[in-house]
Structures are given as structure tokens and as C-alpha cells.
Amino acid sequence: MDTIITRFPPSPTGYLHIGGVRTALFNWLYARKTKGKFVLRIEDTDAARSTKESVDTILESLEWLGIDWDEGPYFQTERYDIYNEYIKKLLESGAAYYCSCTPDEVNAMREEAKAKGQKPMYNGKCRARNLEKADNTVVRLKTPDTGVTIVKDVVKGDTAFQNSEIDDFIIQRSDGSAMYNLAVVIDDITMGINTIIRGDDHLINTPKQMLIYEALGADLPVFGHVPMVLGADKSRLSKRHGAMSVGEYKNMGFLPDAMINYLVRLGWSHGDQEFFKRDELIEKFDLEHLGRSASMFDTNKLISLNAKHIQGTSPEELADHLLFHLNNLGIKAKNDKFTQGVIETLQPRSKTLVDMAKAAEFYYLNEIEFDEKAAAKFLNSDILDMLEKAAGYIDDIKEYNQEELENIFKQIMEETGLKFGKIAQPLRVALTGTTISPGIFEMLLALGREKTVNRIKAAIKFINA
């Protein structure tokens, strides 16, 4: 087989949503897996709705997800000359013709067809009129009246469409611009796209597009129509289902790798495996195991996968992503040993990076603010002696490591007669302000000796006040 060339063609009429990302992912994965090429094309022929901002956010989202492209972005609005060239060919060969019917007239035709219990269609009125180009003429493709067009689809199998169900659709508007179905086909032909994975809302467009390939004598690509992603109520994903854009998921503290893992797994499977690292996805992805039925977006599953990715990613790499969320909390941190140590203590107990950033906050504070209940329960004069000892011993040890710290705890337990829990919990409040934190030793280590001692002293002051 020749080099696989896939593409992702978003229209810049809004942010990049989850369903779009998923099809982008399938195409990207397939290209990467086969060492092929992945082309990015912006379908901006709808002048009224396309915006530069949308293009920017789409590009940003793809970059955040780590979906890179080998060619493009191409813009359809810059390719009108190419489309016109092909439209001219189609006109010359008689495969297309000018039509002067007004929108009102065409509407009437549709109503008429509907009344007869048929699919609403243009009736081919201008087909044999041999009209010349004029101000208000559009160009239509002459489609066959009989026979069937069979879409061979790698995920759905064969689907036959009666040609009588396909009307002479418009390929060029009266203002001279190309319509979607034509632009897509011309682009795919000229860009050498040979594998097209897209949402199954396009399945109905496919026979139309095949007719254009045929009229041009071009080779057909491989088609694969994947089911759409539905909201939790089984309806089409829309704003009322909450977060839709990729950027929102970034803000909610999801890792790009988790996002990718979840989205690919939604509609594709590799036996029972749920967790995939990025490279593993590229290695194992295939077209054979794409599902045929629509699936619903489940945030819970995304969250759990995110937690697993947080656990399975190095602190150093995690830090790059966490800094963004720390910054959102007003914490200026760097990707250094300290932050990496902090992360290590938080990895098993964070489901999102937002959780992690919040839980990490106390490490960076200069002064701890004590939770009222926690302080009332644990910071009282009974433990003054213990805190004094802790501050002193910790300050004195030669090596600030787990072994030494454990020894100190043993010593304090002996000297005070307190059980481990009676020491750990007040200390926890002294150091973090609350009763909830990572394990006492790992936290002590991540905090560092200086902060630890200072905080214990501050707690002593607090009790004495």
C-alpha cells in the first residue's frame, strides 16, 4: 500500500469540540502508526461564520493535545482558483451544468416532493436547458437517476444509496464560491488524501462525493465513518452538556494524555485494555477495532483515567502542566526539585491537576493559616512539649532523611509516652493547617527542614498566644 495520508478538516466556526478532537485523533493515530502523513486543513468557505479566533483556538487545542501535522494548515478560502479549475472541467465534460432556479423555486420543488412522500430534492429542471453563466446561476452536478452508489466503509461495511435519492446538488454558488462537497473532494484529491476517517453524520455526503470522484475519474479514498459522541442524555453533544471545548478540559485539570486516552477508547478498543500511554496508542491503534455504535461522554471515566495518568507520569513532566494551575491559584512556582518533590507526595491522591494544585498550596505558603476545627482539636497546650522536642530534634539531626525522622519520632514517643497518631496528627495540623495531607514522612521530606521547623515554631507561638 502507498503511504497513508489522512487529514483533519475543522471548520473554524467555534472552538474545537470533543467529537472533532476524536476524529482528528483517529486520523492522526493512523497516520503516525503507519508512518504516513497527517494533513490539517481549515474549511473556512462559510465566510459568514468563520473567524480567525476560531482558527487560533483550534490550533492551540491541537498543540496542547500533542496532535501535530505534517502539512498545512491549508485554508480553503485560498484555494478558490483550484476549485474553479475543476468546476470548469466538470462543466466542459457535461458532468455539471448551470442552473438559474431561485431558492424559492427550489423550495417549492422540495415541498412538492415531500407531498408525494418522497425525499425533498431539486428536480433537475435546468439540467437540459443548456444555460450560460449569469449573475444568479449556480453550478449543479448532474447525478444519475438510476442505479446505486455503494459506499465501502471500513467501519460500517457496505451501504447502498439509490441514485434516485441523490439530487443534482450545487457545487458552486452564484457568487462563484465552491460548495462544501466539491471543495472537500478537490482538496482530498489534490492533497493526495487516501484515508478518510470522519463522523458518521457525513455518511450521507459520501455518495455525493463519490459521484464527484467518478466524474473526475479520480481514485476513491478509503472511507471510515465513526459514530458520533453523544451527551449523557444521548442527544447530540452541545453546550448544555457542560464542557465542550478542549480548552475547558485543560482548565479543569486534565492531562492531554488522559484526554487522548479517554477519547480514543471511546469508540475504539484493544481487548480489555483501558490505560494507554501515548506511544502505546500509536503502536496499537487500528481501523479494525473502531466501534459501530454511538457512545456517550462520561466524565467519571475521564476523571479516573486522568488519575491513572497522573500516577503514571514523572513528577518532572507533571510539573510542566501543574505550574499553569498553581499560577491560577496565585502561586508562583518553578519546575524544580522542590515542586517535583511536592508532586510526588500528591500523585496518588489527585484526580485532576486542579485537585493537585489545591492540595499543593500549603507547601508554598509562607504562613500557615489553621483550620479552626483542626486547631481547636489538635493544637492545645498538651502537645506543646512534643512540638518543642520535634522542632529541636529536627533542627539538630545531621541528615534530613526518612530514617532519621523515624528515629526522632521513636524518641519522642518514648519520651512523651504518646502514640504515633497523637504525634502525627497535631504535627500535620501545625505543618499544613488541616487534618488532611500526604503521609507525614513524605510530607516532611518534601517540605524541607527549614519550613518544617519554622512551621512547628509558628504553631507553638499560636498555642501560646
Partner RNA sequence: GUCCCCAUCGUCUAGCCUGGUCCAGGACACCGGCCUUUCACGCCGGCGACAGGGGUUCGAAUCCCCUUGGGGACGCCA
Reference 20, options 40, 3, 49; nearest CA is 40
Considering only residues 143, 174, 245, 313, which one is a binding residue for RNA as defined by CB under 7 A?
A: 174
CB of 117 to RNA, least distance (A): 4
Binding mask 366-405 for RNA (x = CB under 7 A): ----------------------------------------
- Give the separation between CA 423 and CA 84, rounded to whole angstroms: 80
Instruction: Note whether 235 binds RNA by CB under 7 A.
Output: yes
Q: How far apart are CA 19 and CA 199, in angstroms?
A: 8
Q: Tell me the chain's radius of gyration from C-alpha atoms.
A: 31
CA distance 65 to 259: 8
Report, in Å, the least distance between residue 165 CB and RNA: 5
Q: In whole angstroms, how close is the CB of 361 to RNA at the nearest point? A: 15
> Any idea which residue has 448551470 for its cell?
98
Question: What CA–CA distances, in Å, run from 270 to 21, 67, 139, 156, 296?
Answer: 20, 21, 46, 18, 19
Q: Residue 416, interface with RNA (CB under 7 A)? A: no
What is the size of the binding site for RNA (CB under 7 A)? Answer: 84
Q: How far is the CB of 47 from RNA (least distance, A)?
A: 8
Shortest Cβ distance from residue 64 to RNA (Å)? 22
Sign of torsion, CA 355 362 333 391?
negative
CA–CA gap between residue 459 and residue 222 (Å, rounded): 69
346 or 460: whose CB is closer to RNA? 346
- When asked if residue 82 is in the footprint of RNA (CB under 7 A), the reply is no
Cβ–Cβ < 8 Å for 350, 310: yes
**Of 178-186, 210-218, 316-324, 328-336: span binding RNA (CB under 7 A):** 178-186
Q: Which residue out of 114, 119, 239, 377 is catalytically annotated?
A: 239
Catalytic residue flag (residue 114): no
Q: How many other CB atoms sit within 10 Å of the CB of residue 185?
A: 26
When the beta carbons of 35 and 234 are compared against RNA, the nearer one is 234
Q: Which listed range, 90-98, 185-193, 195-203, 386-394, lies at the site for RNA (CB under 7 A)?
A: 195-203
d(CA 248, CA 253): 9
The distance of closest approach from Cβ of residue 35 to RNA in the complex, given in angstroms and rounded to an integer, is 25
* Residue closer to RNA (CB basis): 55 or 230: 230
**Which residues lie closer than 8 Å to 231 by C-beta, 6 or more apart?**
237, 238, 240, 241, 296, 297
The number of beta carbons lying within 10 Å of the beta carbon of residue 402 is 12
Q: Which cell numbers hold the place of 21?
A: 478532537
Give me 138's grid cell. Answer: 449556480
Stretch near RNA under the rule CB under 7 A, chosen from 84-92, 224-232, 447-455, 457-465:
224-232
Among 3, 108, 328, 420, binds RNA (CB under 7 A): 420
DSSP-derived pairing of the beta strands 195-199 and 71-75 = unpaired
Binding to RNA by CB under 7 A, coded x per residue (else -) over 102-121, reads xx--x---x---x--xxxxx
For RNA, the binding residues in 284-303 under the rule CB under 7 A are 289, 291-296, 298, 300-301, 303
The interface with RNA within residues 137-166 (CB under 7 A) comprises 138, 156-157, 159-162, 165
Subset of residues 18 to 77 that bind RNA, contact rule: CB under 7 A: 43-46, 49, 76
Q: How far is the CB of 345 from RNA (least distance, A)?
A: 9
Q: Give whichever of 336 and 369 is closer to RNA, judged by the CB atom.
A: 369
Under the binding rule (CB under 7 A), the answer on residue 93 touching RNA is no
Q: Please report whether residue 267 would count as binding RNA according to CB under 7 A.
A: yes
Q: From its phi and psi, is residue 392 left (phi > 0), alpha (psi between -120 and 50) or beta?
A: alpha
Residues serving a catalytic function are 239
